Structure 1
Amino acid sequence: MRRRRVIRILNISLFLGFVSGSSLLQASPGTDTAKLMEYWYRLTARDCGSGRLASDCSGLILRGIASKQSYLPWDPSPLSQSLEAGGTGIAAGGTSVSYLRKDVEYNGLGMLRFNGFALVPNDFVNEKTQFKIKVLCAFPIDSWTNYRNNSGCGDYQENGNSLGVVEDYCQKLGISNAKAWMEHYDRQTRDPEATKAHRFQCGFDTTRDYFGTYNKADAFNTFVEARKILANDPEEKDDAIHTQSELRIETWPPNKHWRRDWGSQARVKFDAPVASDSDSAKATYLELPIAAFIYESGIDYIDRTTKTFTSRELARDDQRRWVEQDNTWKPIIKIQFPNSIAEDAKFAYYPADQHVQPPVDSRSCDNYIEKIEWDNNYVEPVLGKISSLKVTPTACGRKAGVGKTNVVLAELAIKAAALEPNRKDWNFDNMGSSMRRQLACHLDSPDIAENKPTWSLEPARPYVAHDVIIKLPGDNRCNPH
């Protein structure tokens, strides 16, 4: 690749003057996706537990794509396919994407692409219908990975020439913190050619553990921290906001090979075929975990540019072709990228943007939560005085059911952050898992969900498995000691 609080769907005409306000408030799986995308964007997890990458549960992996071509736009480039799958490029086996999060910001998809798709973080993937992706390496800023070996993670070369410098994983260069990465990057910026630093930077290996306790999750976090330094550096911040971050992910199989033996242990590379793929008894169909097709445009201002009109039409065509392949409907989401680190990205779903209208989902709500308030002096019989979040669901939210836990939690977290941005015991840096478990229990208990005026959720409560918490007696049900 080369360079390049609370969200509510706004009740005003924003796109080219023809989207009516009333059409913006129709609840559907698309409105759910817009909320989830904001939630993932605002989550700033250091890791996802047990040495797992932060990208598994937070942030948005984005890819700008070429649409209206002879090939399917979400399929990987033939040059990105592994050698075992017939790839021939120097970077075979890896595909370039960017990573957008509240602390990893940039103002566009890059490569003169203004539409593309966003992937579902691995922890939110529906494993019955979608496969997971694997992040191979991470670069704080675009690094011309199509010209690097080792799946795009290694040495930058021009016509087989390493140009006197052999790039490698940061860990192999002894770089394990953001300051050291920046010092290495700064050594490259002294060259008059501005892009040399991009090409000669090191990337972090996110597949293996190094340095004893320094694991792959630490490496991904160092990538995030290095990006923060770039974004605040007086000499680099302009380049950083105008240039996307870059990840290489393991190349996935093209759409025509999504019916396969996903459990095969004989597969050498993720995108390579094996004999058992043709065995009807073993082959099943799984999709690339696309959350939404996306396009760049303004949300809180009217954007009538040709770029917006074109990218919207391309996203509509991508959605049409996706559904024609018998894949699960995905929404088109408009993204307003930030123009500085002081701004936030914004996400919006509009029915008029959709080429294919969504399936009916009677449990989707425009808003699941009517209001929330904190009681900082709640006295719990066992735990003593603790903070309690009092949640008043909407009538629709009371009937949402446990299948909507993720999106209800997303709306809850967004509204809680707007209510008290500086709260310490539950925020986007400290979500924990107990609050989600308590919420899921309320949603999965019709008598509580529909008849309890307010739902009480307490960050101090212990995590208890769902099959246990749902059976607790009396007032202890859904709120374990």
Structure 2
Amino acid sequence: MKKVLATFVLMVLAGCSSQPPSDSTPPKRKSGDFSAVAQTMVAASTGPEVAAELTRRYRDTRVNCGKDSMPAFLCSGILLRGTARANGFDVWDPSPTAIRVGGTSFSYVRSDYKMKRLAFTYNKGLIFYPILSVPAGKENIEVLCFFPIDGSSDRRSDNGCGAISGYPGTVACNAQNIRTGEQWAANYRKYVPGEHTIAGVCSFDVRDAANNAAGPNFHEGMVGGRAISPRAFDIPNDVKLKTWAPGLARTLPIEAFFYYVRDGKSGLADVQIDQRRFKELTGVAIPIIKTTFPNTLDESMTFVYQAADQAVD
């Protein structure tokens, strides 16, 4: 996958993209990560531009980013993470659970893969840049696996992508020879005939090492989630990212903070605390974006920048 991604970046530098390259030289990255790829995209510089870019990616329903080795999440859709009030650590730092597991949970939303809420009772959070748009000087956090619906990944082995002891249907999809969305849905229904449980939820491998299988695996995961709709709309999906080190506020690829109104309660006041704290540490004002999650599959998520929502300049 690295070879294909590097070729793609060279194409961008040659003028195949409408986005300008960065003026700075991309930093060297550690091998074994997606971060081995030089990044050249420029971050949106204003709140309205961020909201417009999120809307554009949400509507971008491509199957992959040009090759089977380049899953769609590298360039389209939104990778977001719901966060609670910080309890002894900053919300962008890994939690004790994420450090123990070695994986950190996000969700993926796109106009053709919707969900109506965040996990637990979260009503605010943060959004990471997609890997092919990470600005120079920022970390590339590897995406490891995709659960089309919540699979209690914090209870699993292999950075949260493996099995849960005692549940054979939770073994990683490829180890069960589950290759398609239809097969995933059949496995889910086999173990989950009634209310949702984790018993039949396996993960699709989308990590760097999966190479040409990564793109099809992610696509088939979305096919599988749609096949059990509306359950995968009602219950958030889970994308496991490799847990990063604490204290990386300056280099984490945070594109935006966001909030929404859930059960009559707005997450704005809490996310403003996050925005203030982030600027205090880094000197950078990350915009707060007001989001609206769909109530039905016919509705779409919206992303709006409002000057009055910002706690810092």
- Give the C-alpha shift of residue 209 in structure 1: 3.3
The 8 Å contact of residues 169 and 201 in structure 2, kept in 1 or not, is answered as no
In structure 1, which of residues 164, 181, 184 is the aligned counterpart of residue 187 of structure 2?
A: 184
Kindly, what percent of the aligned residue pairs are identical? Answer: 31
Partner residue, 1:423: none
- Give the C-alpha shift of residue 249 in structure 1: 0.5
TM-score (normalizing by structure 2): 0.81
Name the amino acid aligned to 1:314.
Answer: D
Question: Structure 1 68/201 Cα, relative in aligned 2: closer, same or farther at 3 Å?
Answer: closer
Question: Structure 1 253/199 Cα, relative in aligned 2: closer, same or farther at 3 Å?
Answer: farther
For residues 162-206 of structure 1, the C-alpha deviation after alignment (integer angstroms, 9 at most, x for no partner) is 25x36322112111111111111110122x5x232x343111011
- CA distance, structure 2, for counterparts of residue 286 and residue 112 of structure 1: 28
- Give the C-alpha shift of residue 31 in structure 1: 0.5
1:33 aligns with 2:42: no
Q: How does 1:59-70 map to 2 (within 5 A)?
A: 59-70=77-88
Give the secondary-structure state (helix, strand or coil) at the position aligned to 1:215: helix
Partner residue, 1:435: none
Partner residue, 2:246: 254
Partner residue, 1:217: 215
For residues 385-418 of structure 1, the C-alpha deviation after alignment (integer angstroms, 9 at most, x for no partner) is xxxxxxxxxxxxxxxxxxxxxxxxxxxxxxxxxx
- Give the C-alpha shift of residue 79 in structure 1: 2.3
Give the secondary-structure state (helix, strand or coil) at the position aligned to 1:151: helix
- Give the C-alpha shift of residue 68 in structure 1: 4.3
Partner residue, 1:104: 113
Partner residue, 2:139: 131
Partner residue, 2:174: 171
1:203 aligns with 2:203: yes
- Give the C-alpha shift of residue 125 in structure 1: 0.9
Name the amino acid aligned to 2:128.
Answer: L
Q: CA RMSD in A?
A: 2.0
Partner residue, 1:267: none
- CA distance, structure 1, for counterparts of residue 105 and residue 117 of structure 2: 15
The 8 Å contact of residues 241 and 339 in structure 1, kept in 2 or not, is answered as no
The 8 Å contact of residues 144 and 199 in structure 1, kept in 2 or not, is answered as no
- CA distance, structure 1, for counterparts of residue 181 and residue 155 of structure 2: 24
Question: Structure 1 230/166 Cα, relative in aligned 2: closer, same or farther at 3 Å?
Answer: closer
Runs of 4+ aligned structure 1 residues displaced above 3 Å come to: none
1:243 aligns with 2:235: yes
Residue ranges of structure 1 left out of the alignment (5+ in a row)? 1-27, 82-86, 232-236, 259-284, 299-304, 358-481
In structure 2, which of residues 138, 154, 157 is the aligned counterpart of residue 146 of structure 1?
A: 154
The 8 Å contact of residues 68 and 314 in structure 1, kept in 2 or not, is answered as no
Partner residue, 1:315: 271
- CA distance, structure 2, for counterparts of residue 58 and residue 72 of structure 1: 27
The 8 Å contact of residues 156 and 200 in structure 1, kept in 2 or not, is answered as no
Q: How does 1:31-430 map to 2 (within 5 A)?
A: 31-50=48-67, 51-81=69-99, 87=100, 92-128=101-137, 130-157=138-165, 162-163=166-167, 165=168, 167-190=170-193, 194-196=195-197, 198-207=198-207, 208-209=209-210, 215-231=213-229, 237=230, 239-255=231-247, 258=248, 287-297=251-261, 306-308=264-266, 311-357=267-313
Name the amino acid aligned to 1:296.
Answer: Y
- Give the C-alpha shift of residue 286 in structure 1: 5.0
Give the secondary-structure state (helix, strand or coil) at the position aligned to 1:112: coil
Question: Structure 1 155/68 Cα, relative in aligned 2: closer, same or farther at 3 Å?
Answer: closer
- CA distance, structure 1, for counterparts of residue 125 and residue 199 of structure 2: 24
